[in-house]
């Protein structure tokens, strides 16, 4: 009986997700207890959690072909939302990323993740497309980069990075050869490295030249690729100047976290202090002084992991990380058994989405990635993110259930 059920519903992922939501609620409770403005967040998150369960099962029970058919509409609707948010959205901490739906705020960029994953999977799996031609790669990149551009206009760098990475990984998964992948990814790497100064950039450019020798393409192609890399670094650094000051600060802080301990680096530093002071077993539930004395602003969102680290210590952190690890490995484990290319691509998209959020969020809590405002899936406070993530888990579970079918 259980085996039969296990065949249609992956309990390891589901339980891990449930546990993460539970941990999230505990951490939100602790960090918002008696807080002057965020007192009600725990209750709200409980409602969101219940609501997200409904959407999880809604997607779980949808006929599995429907995703494919809905892909185009989802994507189109996503773009519509992203455009409207730029036009009508309300500004929250420097970014226009919210639209109001009656009494509740809603982040279109969250919903757009579903649209992107579905549509990119649809396009990449269309009639066994061979991705290794310039036109197809171009279109695939365009599908990804249009929402990226719209999100950057909000501007929301973190989410834009997530979209870009989802796009890259899905294209890579679709069978892009190593050289093409190199061509696509290297400008992004160069842009990232350029943040760390000229010498890092030069070293990276030298590595790219060496890589180009390794690929043994003709001189013209090689030079073109190199010029694209160089240009993207320059253009990016030019564009950085047009970023909002708080975002520039964040990038600067990432490069040199201790430069401004009371300014933008404050959060990163306080997060480390909170986690570090937790020690092996933590200070206990509601006993995290760093949390309770509110040294980290809005801790229930992007810095929720500090609460866990401080109050439950190294073991609590490891348990949390391990639950994510179980989810990621399980998804990778499921991948080869999925017969349908579209579904596999959707799974890869979901995996990338969760993993990027996880990696960057934990990374910024531990001070190894820049503070770019990405919530920790299932744990951070926030309705849009939880509902979208749970919906995607529903999709994932649906795919698992129907893994033996071709569409």
Partner 1 sequence: MSNSRVLLLSAFVIFLFGLLVIRLFIIQISSHEKYKSQADKQQNKIITLKAERGLILDRNGEILAYTKQDNTLYADCRMLNGKYKKDRTKIARKLAKIFNKKPSYYINKIKRGKGNIILEKKISQEKARLLEDFTASGYYKTQDYTRIYPYGKITAHVIGAVDRQLRGLDGIEKVYNKYLVGKDGFLVAEQDARGKKVTVLYEQSMNPMPGYNIVLTINKSYQKILREELEKGLAKYKGKSAVGIIVDPNTGEILSLVSLPDFTPEKYGKNPQKNRRNRAISDTYEPGSTIKSIVVAMLLENGLAKPYEVINTENGKYRIKGATIHDTHKYKKLTVSEIIEHSSNIGIVKLSGRLNDRIFYKGLRDFGFGNYTEIDLPGEAKGMLKKPSSYSAISKAFISHGYEISVTPIQITMAYAALVNGGHLLRPYTVKKIVDEEDRTILSNGKKEIRRVISDRTSEQIRNMMIGVVENGTAQLAQLKDVLVGGKTGTSQKLINGRYSNKYYNSSFIGFLPADNPKLLCFILVDSPEVGRYGGQVAAPIFKNVMQRIIDIDLNLDLEKKEIRRNNSPITKLITQNENDNQEGFFNPSSKKENIVNSKYDNLPAGVMPELKNKSMREAISILSKLKIKYKIVGNGKVVSQSVKPGARINEKTTCVIKCKMINVPEGVSVN
Residues that bind partner 1 (CB under 8 A): 172-173, 175, 270, 272-280, 289-290, 293-297, 309, 313-314, 317-318, 321, 324-325, 328-329, 332, 335-336, 344, 348, 351, 355, 359, 362-363, 366-368
Instruction: Please list, in sequence order, all residues whose beta carbon lies within 8 angstroms of the beta carbon of residue 289, skipping any fewer than 6 positions away.
Output: 277, 283, 310
DSSP secondary structure code for residue 376 in this structure: P
* Nearer to partner 1 (CB atom), residue 198 or residue 368: 368
- Smallest separation, CB 137 to partner 1 (Å): 17
Q: What DSSP string runs through 74-135? A: HHHHHHHHHHHHHHHPEEETTEEEEEEETTEEE-HHHHHHHHHHHHHHHHHTGGG----SHH
* Nearer to partner 1 (CB atom), residue 210 or residue 293: 293
* Nearer to partner 1 (CB atom), residue 94 or residue 363: 363
Q: Are 187 and 204 in contact (CB under 8 A)?
A: no
* Nearer to partner 1 (CB atom), residue 19 or residue 62: 19
CA neighbor of 286 nearest in space, from 268, 267, 312: 312
* Nearer to partner 1 (CB atom), residue 55 or residue 365: 365
- CA gap 299, 309 in Å, rounded: 12
Q: Please, what's the largest Cα pairwise distance for the chain? A: 66
- Smallest separation, CB 76 to partner 1 (Å): 29
CA neighbor of 65 nearest in space, from 395, 350, 337, 348: 395
* Nearer to partner 1 (CB atom), residue 245 or residue 336: 336
CA neighbor of 120 nearest in space, from 169, 66, 49, 61: 169
Q: Mark out the alpha helices in 303-370 (DSSP H runs).
A: 304-334, 341-365
- CA gap 159, 191 in Å, rounded: 17
- Smallest separation, CB 330 to partner 1 (Å): 11
Place of tokens 């409207």: 84
- Smallest separation, CB 46 to partner 1 (Å): 26
* Nearer to partner 1 (CB atom), residue 157 or residue 165: 165
- Smallest separation, CB 222 to partner 1 (Å): 25
- Smallest separation, CB 276 to partner 1 (Å): 3
- Smallest separation, CB 219 to partner 1 (Å): 30
CA neighbor of 96 nearest in space, from 153, 161, 135, 168: 153
- Smallest separation, CB 351 to partner 1 (Å): 7
* Nearer to partner 1 (CB atom), residue 147 or residue 367: 367
């Amino acid at each position: 009986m259980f085996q039969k059920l296990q065949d249609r519903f992956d309990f390891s992922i589901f339980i891990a997700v449930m546990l993460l939501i539970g941990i999230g609620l505990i951490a939100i409770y602790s960090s918002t207890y008696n807080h002057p403005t965020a007192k009600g967040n725990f209750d709200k998150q409980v409602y969101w959690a219940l609501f997200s369960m409904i959407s999880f099962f809604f997607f779980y029970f949808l006929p599995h072909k429907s995703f494919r058919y809905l892909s185009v509409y989802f994507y189109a609707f996503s773009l519509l939302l992203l455009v409207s948010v730029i036009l009508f959205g309300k500004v929250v901490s420097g970014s226009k990323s919210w639209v109001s739906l009656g009494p509740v705020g809603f982040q279109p960029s969250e919903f757009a993740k579903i649209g992107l994953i579905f549509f990119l999977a649809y396009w990449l799996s269309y009639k066994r497309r061979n991705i290794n031609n310039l036109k197809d790669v171009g279109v695939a990149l365009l599908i990804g980069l249009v929402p990226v551009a719209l999100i950057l206009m909000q501007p929301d760098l973190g989410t834009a990075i997530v979209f870009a990475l989802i796009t890259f990984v899905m294209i890579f998964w679709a069978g892009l050869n190593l050289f093409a992948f190199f061509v696509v990814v290297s400008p992004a790497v160069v842009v990232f490295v350029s943040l760390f100064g000229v010498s890092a950039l030069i070293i990276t450019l030298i590595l790219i030249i060496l890589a180009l020798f390794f690929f043994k393409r003709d001189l013209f192609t090689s030079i073109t690729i190199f010029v694209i890399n160089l240009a993207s670094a320059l253009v990016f650094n030019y564009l950085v100047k047009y970023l909002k000051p708080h975002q520039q600060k964040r990038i600067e802080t990432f490069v040199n976290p201790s430069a401004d301990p009371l300014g933008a680096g404050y959060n990163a530093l306080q997060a480390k202090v909170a986690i570090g002071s937790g020690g092996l077993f933590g200070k206990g539930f509601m006993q995290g002084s760093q949390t309770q004395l509110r040294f980290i602003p809005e801790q229930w969102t992007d810095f929720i992991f500090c609460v866990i680290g401080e109050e439950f210590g190294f073991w609590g952190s490891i348990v949390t990380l391990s639950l994510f690890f179980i989810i990621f490995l399980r998804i990778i484990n499921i991948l080869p058994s999925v017969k349908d290319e579209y579904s596999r691509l959707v799974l890869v998209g979901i995996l990338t989405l969760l993993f990027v959020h996880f990696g960057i969020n934990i990374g910024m809590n531990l001070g190894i990635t820049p503070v770019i405002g990405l919530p920790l899936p299932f744990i951070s406070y926030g309705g849009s993110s939880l509902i979208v993530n749970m919906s995607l888990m529903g999709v994932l579970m649906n795919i698992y259930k129907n893994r033996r079918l071709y569409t």
